[in-house]
Amino acid sequence: MDARISPSRVAGRARAPPSKSYTHRALLAAGYGDGTVVRDPLDSADPRATGRAVTAFGGAVEWDDAANAARVDGFDGRPRTPDDVVNCENSGTTMRLVTAAAGLAADLVVLTGDDSLRSRPQGPLLEAVEALGGRAESTRRNGRAPLVVGDGMEGGAVSIPGDVSSQFVTALLMAGAVTDGGVRVDLSTALKSAPYVEITREVLDAFGVETERTDAGFAVPGGQSYRADEYAVPGDFSSISYLLAAGAVAAAGGEPVVVEGARPSAQGDSAIVDVLDRMGADVDWDRGAGEIAVRRSALSGVEVDVGDTPDLLPTIATLGAVADGDTRIVNAEHVRYKETDRVSAMAEELGRMGASVTEEPDSLTVHGDDSDLRGATVDGRGDHRLVMALAVAGLVAEGETTVRGAEHVEVSFPGFFGTLAALGAAVDSEPGGTARAE
């Protein structure tokens, strides 16, 4: 599906979807337990993949749209061997979290995904599962899916790099809680995306599972049980970032865009509020009410380290194309290993729209003074975050912008284009007409 965006002004109130990161962890935590109602989950493609994995392991996930909940019957600590291959589709979080869970199975589990997911590195996690007493290997012997995992991981101590994916740490902590000996994860390199591990620890604490920081990394005692009657998922700051960016670059006159559901949590992507403030945006966060208001402002380029916030790179790059001066996004090499290489992808797609961009191995610099955004046909490359960031750029580009692959917003922000339309954007994302508010 293509989305066509024309220059627009936006204003009004919008609510971001629930957090995808929290939903994944809550569904699997509930799976490790014996029964939990997950309130306000993100019902989209990636969490659905995690829910199917819980079911494959002997649990059950019932999505209750009327109650805005997912009712999870867990597999009570030890996953059974699935009857079939576990297909994680395009969800890297599902693949990594489920790989460690599969390591607990008595027999063997086969994990796979789509073309993009089968290109993403899993090697350090496979090595860790084997070091902890399980079996874990790549069928192509290249550290990438399809994977074969199982043989009853027992626990122990393991060293892994911290600069590939924080999801490796999350997966091992979640599985380690139900092993006999627990798991200690020592980091051989500095941890990237560290706030995501804090999200994990926050969710585990809500399920009664203890974890701890150590001098070298993290640890989780064994022999624990996951228990929670209910768990409520907070709003998603990765998704909030696109709405805030839309307000900062395209709000109508002095009218704000107000984003609801922005309550404080461990999410690192709440840093987008600070980034906007540093760039000169008129932004105000009422933490008690969970609302952020932003008005269109003259923006100036800044330097942003995305070591802990890789999902913000597409949003910040778009803001940089509108700002005065240079916006330099650094510590970004790990952002190349997402649904696509987001560093190169944003450089190339913004370049098609007239942005001046310099790409280096671990950084992206957008030269706002040399950028003059104009409508073009750009490719979302199967990446929901690229699609949404490029759509925001289309609000202020001269002429119509067409974003290919717009359906991929369903991964994390179902109804994204309807939300933009409700704020006043001229968006056509349907074969026959303009996007409807949802």
Residues 6 or more apart in contact with residue 42 via CB below 8 angstroms: 17, 18, 19, 20, 23, 233, 236, 412
Annotated ligand binding at 167? The verdict is yes
Instruction: At 291, list the tokens.
Output: 């609302």
Annotated ligand binding at 342? The verdict is yes
Annotated ligand binding at 356? The verdict is no
Annotated ligand binding at 184? The verdict is no
Tell me whether residue 84 is one of the annotated catalytic residues: no
Q: Strand 108-112 to strand 183-187: parallel, antiparallel, or no bridges (unpaired)?
A: unpaired
Annotated ligand binding at 166? The verdict is yes
Instruction: At 10, list the tokens.
Output: 């936006």
How far from the centroid of its chain's Cα atoms is residue 55's Cα? 22
Q: How far is the CA of 204 from the CAs of 30, 197, 199, 212, 369, in angstroms?
A: 10, 10, 9, 11, 46
Q: In what order do the strands lie in the sheet with 230-232?
A: 60-64, 69-73, 36-39, 230-232
Q: Please state, in angstroms and rounded to a whole number, the distance separating the CA atoms of residues 246 and 393.
A: 8
Residues 6 or more apart in contact with residue 289 via CB below 8 angstroms: none
Annotated ligand binding at 235? The verdict is no
Instruction: At 384, list the tokens.
Output: 């929901």
Closest CA to 300 of 318, 276, 283, 284: 276
Name the phi and psi angles at 422, rounded to 5. -65, -25
Annotated ligand binding at 25? The verdict is yes
Annotated ligand binding at 225? The verdict is no
Q: Strand 183-187 to strand 147-150: parallel, antiparallel, or no bridges (unpaired)?
A: unpaired
Q: How far is the CA of 112 from the CAs of 61, 121, 340, in angstroms?
A: 20, 13, 17
Count the neighbouring beta carbons within 10 Å of the beta carbon of residue 374: 14
Annotated ligand binding at 135? The verdict is no
Annotated ligand binding at 344? The verdict is no
Residue burial 146-156, b: 16+ Cβ < 10 Å; e: rest: ebbbbbebebb
Annotated ligand binding at 192? The verdict is no
Question: Of the residues 269, 308, 311, 379, which is catalytic?
Answer: 311
Annotated ligand binding at 311? The verdict is yes
Three-class secondary structure of residue 232 per DSSP: strand
Q: Please state, in angstroms and rounded to a whole number, the distance separating the CA atoms of residues 405 and 379.
A: 7
Does a cis peptide bond (omega within 30 degrees of 0) precede residue 256? no
Q: Please state, in angstroms and rounded to a whole number, the distance separating the CA atoms of residues 342 and 358.
A: 14
Annotated ligand binding at 119? The verdict is no
Binding-site positions for 3-phosphoshikimate read 20-21, 25, 165-167, 193, 311, 338
Binding-site positions read 20-21, 25, 92, 120, 165-167, 193, 311, 338, 342, 385
- Active site (catalytic) residues: 311
Binding-site positions for phosphoenolpyruvate read 20, 92, 120, 167, 342, 385
